[in-house]
Amino acid sequence: MKKLSILAATLLASTVGFSQISVDPEVGVNFSNLRSKVGDEDPNTADSKAGLRAGIGLNIDLTEGLYIRPGVYYNMLGAKDETLGIESATTLHYLEIPVNLGYRYALSENAGNLFIEAGPYLAFALAGNVKADVLGVEVKDDINFGTESSETNPIDWGFKFGLGYETPWGVFIKGNYGLGMGNLSNVDDVKLTNTAWNVSLGYRIHI
């Protein structure tokens, strides 16, 4: 038992000694849409809408090249639509918490790194609204969040997939795809989900 304790302590010490941690602030733009499906009908995808994404990640090295990256982000999602000549835009504001597992491949000391990452996310709605242009007059309605059929589910979840490049100076650019799996609708036989592409620019601060 004593030998096992010594071995575990040695492994832990070596892992902590090897691990490097960085704080990664980033800002970017989303190109999001809403995908709806009613019963057995074919799904319908609205037109994409641009929105802000900004936040901070914590990059923790596990082994050489392999890392885990939790974070907290503000995420603006939504979609545009046109029905019977009426144009509308839905805007959803989320606080998002992703946890990605990634791998970093060093090109060379002077050429930087390529990286790929993927993982789940959980998001909580902060606010939302729908704006419509009706005969030249803009009408705006706030979205009510809750569990009733007349409200929108405030909790979203899904998976993120990212690919990026990091310069030797710590600046990185990354592309993400977010596949929403949580149903935003509380109506039976109606499914409404978020999807989004994202491009962001960030800076890795080693601590």
pLDDT at 40: 82
Residue whose token pair is 């995420």: 75
pLDDT digit string (tens) for the chain, length 207 residues: 555 444 444 444 444 444 689 999 999 999 999 999 998 888 888 889 999 999 999 999 999 899 999 999 999 999 998 877 788 999 999 999 999 999 999 998 789 999 999 999 999 999 999 999 887 788 999 999 999 999 999 999 999 999 999 999 999 999 999 999 999 999 999 999 999 999 999 999 988
The domains found in the chain, sorted by start residue, are: 25-206 (2.40.160.20)
Predicted TM-score (pTM) of the model is 0.85
Angle, CA of 28, 30 and 36, to the nearest 5°: 165
Of 78, 25, 28, whose CA–CA distance to 53 is shortest? Answer: 28
Q: What is the pLDDT of residues 64-118, one digit of tens each?
A: 899 999 999 999 999 998 877 788 999 999 999 999 999 999 998 789 999 999 9
Amino acid identity for residue 140 in this structure: K
> What is the 3 state secondary structure string of 132-162?
EEECCEEEEEECCECCCCCCECCEEEEEEEE
From the centroid of its chain, how far is CA 138?
30
Q: What is the residue-wise DSSP string for 10-67?
A: HHHHHHHHH--EEEEEEEEEEEEEEEEEETTSPPEEPBPEEEEEEEEEEEEEEETTEE
Sequence letter at residue 155? I
Both structure tokens of 191? 């499914």
pLDDT at position 19 is 61
Left, alpha or beta for 189 (phi > 0: left; psi -120 to 50: alpha)?
A: left
CB 172 within 8 A of CB 165: yes
